[in-house]
Amino acid sequence: MHTERTQLDSIEPTDAQELYLKYKATEVTDKTLRTHKYRTNYFVQWCEEQGIDDMNDVTGRHLQEYRLWREEDGDLAQISLNQQMATIRVFLQWCASIEAVPADLYEKVMVPRVSPEQQRREEMLETETAEAILDHLSTFSYASVEHAVIAVLWETGIRLGAANSLNVADVDVEDERIELVHRPEQDTQLKNAQGGERPIAITPGLAGLLEDYIEHTRHDVMDDYGHRPLFATTRGRMHRTTLRGVVYRATAPCFRNEPCPDCTGTADKKCGEAVSPHAIRRGSITHYLTEDVPVEVIGDRMDVSRDVLDKHYDKRSEDVKLEQRRGYLENL
């Protein structure tokens, strides 16, 4: 259905943004809200520079020009441009709901495609998104398998295979730790074999969550070797593919009732906005680095060398690194 120009209600871009953010504030965390504000700020700025003082006047051509401006002015990587344009698409879809723009205008936002290779290389769960996911799970799905899986992966930064190898006996709630053990003869291997074996300290919050998950939610079954797998189905240890599916489901914005651009809404297909387990690992490592946790501690905890960490996992922006270095210098 198309909205005629004469049916639209005039509103300035700054006012539309303000109303949009008030609406988003009712359904997302503060950090997620700041992300929406950050991304829509650029669109409002561009409208001001172009002399567009009424959202009614925004056209498909304007959106293409804005995309080119944002790409060139921001010097953005393809995946960053993808995320920013996806937010503008959601913003315009909301604007259509208040009759500020034509109902189909959001469909004209060209969200750049990200190749599978780029997605694997650059995909990362941002801290604010991880916190929004965990907040939602804690409120609406406490101690569910989704809650336990995401909390373990985010706090520990371990690989999917390591999470899949965990048994109930490897979780020490009292001492607040989990133990990673390489058991190739029992089909639970670690990537770096015995070199990847290690204890990992966990917070009291995660320890309590796992205790409740084990007691109330986990399927009380054994695997073929007599172990009680931490993540299980009614038939035994959860297959890695199933575990990966849990991650895709729990990280999709639609799972926490947020808009998903191009989402099919079907359970048999991965939502385009969901992230992989490795993206959680990459985001977790970057989060700890941003919080000034020493590289040596992160390397030992997450079983990754300094060279590999620098090359593949450290996704801090140069501005963040600059401010962290500045902080060290100011304390000298």
Tens-place pLDDT, residues 76-116: 767 778 888 989 999 999 999 999 999 999 999 988 776 66
pLDDT digits (tens, 9 = 90+) for 212-259: 999 999 999 999 999 999 999 999 999 999 999 999 999 998 898 887
The predicted pLDDT at position 7 comes to 80
The predicted pLDDT at position 1 comes to 45
User: Is the pLDDT assigned to residue 74 strictly greater than 90?
Assistant: no
Question: Residues 160-181: what's their mean pLDDT?
Answer: 96
Angle, CA of 208, 302 and 153, to the nearest 5°: 45
CATH of 5-116, one of 3.40.50.300, 1.10.150.130, 2.60.40.1220, 3.90.400.10: 1.10.150.130
For domain 127-277, give the CATH superfamily. Intergrase catalytic core (1.10.443.10)
Domains of the chain by residue range: 5-116, 127-277
User: Is the pLDDT assigned to residue 172 strictly greater than 70?
Assistant: yes
Q: What are residue 177's DSSP bridge partners? A: 172, 201
The predicted pLDDT at position 304 comes to 83
Rounded CA separation 181/25 (Å): 43
Rounded CA separation 40/86 (Å): 11
What average pLDDT does the chain have? 86
**Which residue reads 């109930």 in tokens?**
168
Burial class (CB in 10 A: 0-12, 13-18, 19+), 71: middle
The predicted pLDDT at position 315 comes to 64
**Which residue reads 């769960």 in tokens?**
125
pLDDT digits (tens, 9 = 90+) for 32-66: 788 889 899 999 999 999 999 999 999 999 999 99
Rounded to the nearest 5°, which phi and psi values hold at 49? Answer: -65, -30
